[in-house]
Chains A and B, each alone.
Chain A
Amino acid sequence: MRLKKHILLYIILLLGVIVTTLPMIYMISTSLKPNGALYEFPPRFFPSISEITLENYRYILNEGKFYINFLNSMFVSTISVTIAAIVASALGFCISRFRFKGRKQLFGFIIVTMIIPGTTLILPQYELAVKLNVINKLSGLIPFYVAWVIPYSTFMIKGFVDNLPHELDEAVYIDGGSIYTVYFRIVLPLIKPSIASITIFNFLTAWEEYPWANTVINDNMKRTLPIAISGFFGQHQFTQWGYVFALSALSLIPVILVYIVFQKYFVSGLTAGSVKG
């Protein structure tokens, strides 16, 4: 009885897995076909063995631009998540632990900005970027990415710190320790998993961000990967799908690696937010 029920569940889940992975598998199989075969009839899900070619990957990897776009994405994402982690953990800690003036308003602002979709602010942020002279610069991406992820990150970390017992803090203060001692010695080590989880989340956000980068960056050599991918995508001429999908597959590798290595934190991070509500 129980076994039967389990088998049914496995079958349903496996069907779901097929639907979930099909698009990605099709993308990879297309990237392995020769470029000319993409509008052939009938379309095939898999290329025949003799047809499989790494030509598309060779083209992308031989074009120096790929490495530059890749490094740009890496640079922007890494710096953004680092700054965000430092800033948001300090904010979350203070908001959770201290009753300073304007605390409520600050937290309210953070919640409100979580609600407003990032893209609605693209216009005034563009104006700001012009004033700060960061148009067409990688430094025009980083602070905006940091600002976008701060509200959610702070919200998550505050939730995490709320759950830490106050006794530890008190013990430190009685021993003559300061706020810094509590923050650096007690809180930071304890919220490491939470920082890890928001960091992975933020990395994804920065790595795949499209509208802002597309608006601010002009030069080919400063484009991040999402812009490079969409640049391959000619409107009415002919789209070289083989190249598009080879580049896409390559750009997914770091994200999937990060995800598999840190997947434990991924879940715990999301949990904290949802349970708090």
Chain B
Amino acid sequence: MKEVKRILAIFLLAVFCASALTACGESPAVSDSAKSGETVETKEPLKEGTSEEVVEQENITINFWHHYSAQSPENETLMNVLIPKFESENPGIEVNAVSHEWADLHDKILISAKSETLPDVARLDAAWIPEFNKMGVLVALDQEMNDFNEVSQGLLESAMETVQIDNSYYGLALNTNTKILFYNKKALEEAGVSVPTTMDEFIATTKKISGTNEAGQQIWGYSEPALSGWNLCPFIWSFGGNLTNPEQTKASGYINSDETINAIEMFAELYNANAITGWNSGDIPMTDGFGTGRYLMILEGPWKIAEMAGAYPDFEYGTAMMPAGNGGSASVLGGEDISMFNTANKETSWKFMKFMTSEYAQVEMSKCGQIPVSKKALENDIVKQADFAPFLEAIKVAKSRPTVASWSEIDNELNSAVTAVVNNQKTAKEAMDELALKVDKLLSE
């Protein structure tokens, strides 16, 4: 008898183990509730209707992914100002905001799309919209939301173009930005050079101010934190080059044009002359390098102002437009959009998206360097007095990177090619010719 009990007990244990481990449910959706007895801190969302025990007035949770970095003032504003405000205005809705690093966010969304475990809403780099749209995971807002036109008219048309594909809109513009030149005032004065306004001056100045300081440490005239399109495009364009033809169907003849090659050669030359650096694993991170006087010029966005104020409050720097070359002064247009995924709880997600693009939220975010796209917010006094005035000037002449679905892959190939050039493994001509063929193929897919 005792035996039977024991066998029973062990079988039960086995079944328990198996069921506890495999949790439950077959439908893969992140926003489903955790029924498997997790720890207390898991504030799991319950979606209406999907749970077996729908309690009255159950909170709806929106999962919102973004890449405001975890320790940034933007994230502080989001967590401590915006979300509490939204939740108090919309009782019964909770926002679960998740911060990812920029590159991680792209990867996480890619993989979540494949495995059908997407969040409801995400803040996306405008350059990703074509790629995710091609995967078919973004909601066409103009078709689904009745008041889309109303909302969209309140936002800058130029910014809304980033979410427009084939006459449908796959998100709302959230903020815009571009990069301008930040320079170390003291160092340029001591070297007796003026702020470069042309490409030739930029090259000469960068070489001139590079060298060593009193402590015998290397000083670099300019720093670029990576060698991808975001970093290279301003130079390629200012040199008069391009990545693709205007129709974005062909790269040969553009990405390997003389102008583009000259821009890449300039990077390689300055790097080998110890005048620029920043993209290597062992380099000083950009903000630290600039703040401690090791990098004397950088090309950066409006967020840098708040960041410098936080990390190096006493540091004196000036700003200027991107130096102009044969192609004029052309910086790269950045900016983020807020999009909804097709697995989302659409009504509540839309409420949150409208809130994030509202005047209130846009003004709050402008305080930490996010340039608003809401027309009302742009008229607001706080915004008008914000310190991103020089950026507004630069945005007018800034250009977009190619808006194609394969941009992430093209960007990656571009990075590999230019890395080989600066490390003298290939000449710029060789590398860009090879690259042109690869990009042609990616564009035709």
Contact = CB atoms under 8 A, between A and B. Distances in A.
Report A-B touching, CB under 8 Å. yes
Interface stretch (B97-105, B319-327, B354-362, B405-413): B97-105
Contacts of B30: 135-136, 218
Interface in A220-237: 220-222, 231-232, 234-237
B385 interface: no
B226 interface: yes
B23 A133 contact: yes
Interface stretch (A68-76, A105-113, A204-212, A245-253): A68-76
A178 B2 CA distance: 11
Contacts of A188: none
Contact of B287 (A72, A75, A238): A238
Nearest to B29: A133
A98 interface: no
Interface stretch (A14-22, A26-34, A138-146, A194-202): A138-146
A68 B38 CA distance: 13
B41 A72 contact: yes
Output the residue of B23, B217, B278 with the most chain A CB within 10 A.
Answer: B23
Contacts of B65: 218
Contact of B98 (A131, A219, A237): A219
Output the residue of A72, A139, A231, A240 with the most chain B CB within 10 A.
Answer: A139
A236 B226 contact: yes
Nearest to A42: B215
B50 to A, nearest CB: 11
Interface in A3-54: 36, 39-42
B39 A72 contact: yes
Contact of B21 (A136, A143, A215): A143
Contacts of A100: none
Given A71-B41, A218-B65, A235-B101, A41 B215 contact: yes
Contact of A133 (B3, B24, B102, B291): B24
Contacts of A72: 39, 41
Given A137-B34, A234-B285, A237-B69, A130 B116 contact: yes
Interface string B27-39: 1111010101111
B287 A139 contact: no
Output the residue of A36, A42, A83, A132 with the most chain B CB within 10 A.
Answer: A132
* Size class of the contact patch on chain A: 35 or more
A71 B13 CA distance: 26
Q: A-side binding surface: helix, strand, loop or mixed?
A: helix
A239 interface: yes
B215 A238 contact: no
Interface residues of B, number: 55
Nearest to B311: A238
A131 B37 CA distance: 18
B8 to A, nearest CB: 12
A102 B102 CA distance: 50
Interface string B181-224: 00000000000000000000000000000000001010000000
Interface in B140-167: none
Interface string A136-176: 11110011001000000000000000000000000000000
Output the residue of B37, B285, B286 with the most chain A CB within 10 A.
Answer: B285
Contacts of B60: none
A134 interface: yes
Contacts of A178: 3
Interface in B107-148: 108, 111, 115-117, 119
Contact of A221 (B41, B116, B311): B41
Contacts of A130: 28, 115-117
B225 A137 contact: no
B108 A218 contact: yes
B416 interface: no
A191 interface: no
A207 B272 CA distance: 44
B444 interface: no
Interface in B291-333: 291-292, 307, 311
A137 B39 contact: no
Nearest to B22: A132
A59 to B, nearest CB: 10
Contacts of B311: 36, 238
B39 A75 contact: yes
A126 interface: yes
B116 A146 contact: no
A87 interface: yes
B23 A235 contact: no
Contact of A132 (B23, B116, B225): B23
B26 interface: yes
Contacts of B25: 133
B38 A139 contact: yes
Contacts of A142: 21
A126 B115 contact: yes
A24 B424 CA distance: 37
B17 interface: yes
B6 A180 contact: yes
A4 B37 CA distance: 63
Nearest to B307: A237
A67 B215 CA distance: 42
B352 to A, nearest CB: 17
A168 to B, nearest CB: 20
Nearest to B36: A139
A235 B39 contact: no
Contacts of B3: 178, 180
A156 B254 CA distance: 62
A136 B146 CA distance: 33
A128 to B, nearest CB: 9
A218 B287 contact: no
B43 interface: yes
B12 interface: no
B115 A137 contact: no
Complex A-B, nearest 6 residue pairs according to Cβ-Cβ distance, in ascending order: A236-B225, A143-B21, A238-B287, A130-B115, A133-B25, A139-B36
Given A39-B288, A180-B3, 9 more contacts: A42-B215, A135-B117, A137-B38, A138-B39, A139-B34, A220-B70, A220-B99, A232-B70, A240-B71
14 contacts: A36-B311, A42-B215, A83-B17, A83-B21, A133-B27, A135-B115, A138-B38, A139-B20, A139-B23, A139-B34, A139-B37, A143-B21, A220-B70, A238-B286
